[in-house]
Amino acid sequence: MRGEGLIKTFTFLCAGSSILVVFLIFGYTLSEGLPVLMKYGLSFLTGLHWKPYADPPQFGLLPTIIGTLSVSGLAISIAAPIGILAAIYLAEYSGGGFFKNLIEPATQLLVSIPSVVLGFIGLVFLVPTLAKIFGGWGFSILAGGIVLAAMTLPHIICISSDAIRAVPREYRYASLALGASKWQTVRRVVLPAARSGILASIILGLGNAIGETMAVLMVIGNPEVPYIPTSIFDRVRVLTSTIVIEFNYAVWGSDQMRALFAIGVILFIITAAVNLLAFHILGGRIHAKEI
C-alpha cells in the first residue's frame, strides 16, 4: 500500500509539473509584455501602424491580427470539408480494405512531417505555381492558407473519424431498418450524433493554424510594414512571423522587445481559449454519451 501511495504521489507531481511549466511560461511572458499593454492600452490591438523604429514608435496590431485570422480562416475553410469527407469515408465506407490501410497511415505520417518541410515545399513549388497562374510574386494569403490546410487536415481527419466511429451502431441499424439509404443514415443520423466531436476537431485545427510559425513565414510574403489585406492574393504578416522576424533586431528591454512579448501573451490567450473550447465540446459529448 505504501508503494501505491508513492506511485500516486509521483504521478501527481509529474502531472502537476506540466501545469506549473505552462504557468511559468505565461507568467514570464506576461511580466515582460504587460508594460507595453498598459502603456498603449487598446490601441495596441486596434492600431493600424506597426513602426517600431519610428520616432515615436508605433505599435498597432490590427493589420497583423486580420492577417492571422485571414490565413487561418482560409486554411480551415479548405481543410474542414476535405477532412470531414475523408473521415466519413474512413469510418463508414472503407471497411477494412486497401484504401483504408493506405489512407490512415498516410494521414498519420502527414502529422509527423516537420512544418519547415511543408513550408519549403510551398516556397519552391506552390508559390511559383500561384505566381504563374494568378500573377504577382505568389507570396500571399492563399499560399499560406493552402500550406496550413495541409498541416491541419490530419487533425481534422483523425478526430472526426474517431467521433463518427463512436456513434453507437444501434443508431445506424435503426435508420437502415426504417428504409433509409446508407448516405441518408450517415447524413441524417451519424453526422448529427458526431457533430460535437467534428466541431471540436475543426476548432483544434484552427488553434493549430493560428499558432503555426515556420510554414507560414516562408510563403505569406511578410511585408516590412503590415497592412490590412483586401484579397487572398495580398502579402500579409501574421502574429507569429512578426515575433520571428523582429526578435533578433529588438533591443532587450526596449518597447519593441516588450511588444513582441505582448504578442506572445495574445497568442497564448487565443490558443488557450480555442483549445479550452474544443475540450469543453469534447467533454460535453463524452458526458452526454455516458448519460
DSSP letters along 214-231, please?
Answer: HHHHTTSB--SS----SS
Cα–Cα distances in angstroms (integers) from residue 3 to residues 10, 117, 242, 286, in the given order: 11, 47, 51, 33
**Residue 268 falls within a domain, yes or no?**
no
**Residue 115 falls within a domain, yes or no?**
yes
Q: How far is it between the farthest Cα atoms of the chain?
A: 74
Residue % of the chain over a pLDDT of 70: 95
**Residue 49 falls within a domain, yes or no?**
no
188 by DSSP, 3-state: which?
helix
Q: Which three cell numbers stand for residue 241?
A: 512571423
Residue 24 burial by CB count (10 A; 0-12/13-18/19+): exposed, middle or buried?
exposed
Give dist(CA 234, CA 105) in Å, integer.
36
What is the per-residue pLDDT across 131-157, written as a single tens digit (0 to 9) for each? 999 888 889 999 999 999 998 998 899
**Residue 164 falls within a domain, yes or no?**
yes
Whole-number pLDDT of residue 282: 66
Number of domains in the chain: 1
pLDDT tens track, the chain, 291 positions: 566 778 888 888 888 888 888 889 889 999 999 999 898 888 888 888 888 888 888 888 999 999 999 999 999 999 999 999 999 988 888 876 667 777 778 887 887 888 888 899 999 999 999 999 988 888 999 999 999 999 899 889 988 998 999 899 898 889 988 888 889 999 999 999 998 889 888 988 888 888 888 888 899 988 888 888 989 999 999 998 899 888 888 888 888 899 999 999 999 888 888 878 877 776 654 443 433
Q: In 194-226, which positions are buried (b, 16+ CB within 10 angstroms) versus exposed (e)?
A: bebbbbbbbbbbbbbbbbbbbbbbbbbbbeeeb
**Residue 185 falls within a domain, yes or no?**
yes
166 by DSSP, 3-state: which?
coil
**Residue 29 falls within a domain, yes or no?**
no
Block residue for cell numbers 458526431? 194
Whole-number pLDDT of residue 290: 39
260 by DSSP, 3-state: which?
helix
Residue type at 35 in one-letter notation: P
147, 215 contact by CB (below 8 A):
yes
DSSP string of 116-144? HHHHHHIIIIIHHHHHHHH-S-S-SHHHH
Q: Which three cell numbers stand for residue 53?
A: 523604429
Could you list the residue range(s) of the whole structural domain that residue 176 is in?
57-241
**Tell me, what CATH number does 84's domain have?**
1.10.3720.10
**Residue 169 falls within a domain, yes or no?**
yes
Provide, for the chain, the percentages of residues in helix, strand and coil under a 3-state DSSP scheme, each rounded to the nearest 5.
Answer: 75, 0, 20
Whole-number pLDDT of residue 147: 93
Whole-number pLDDT of residue 207: 84
63, 48 contact by CB (below 8 A):
yes
Rg (CA), the chain: 23
**Residue 190 falls within a domain, yes or no?**
yes
Q: Which three cell numbers stand for residue 243?
A: 515575433
- Between vectors from CA 288 to CA 285 and to CA 291, what angle results, nearest 5°? 150
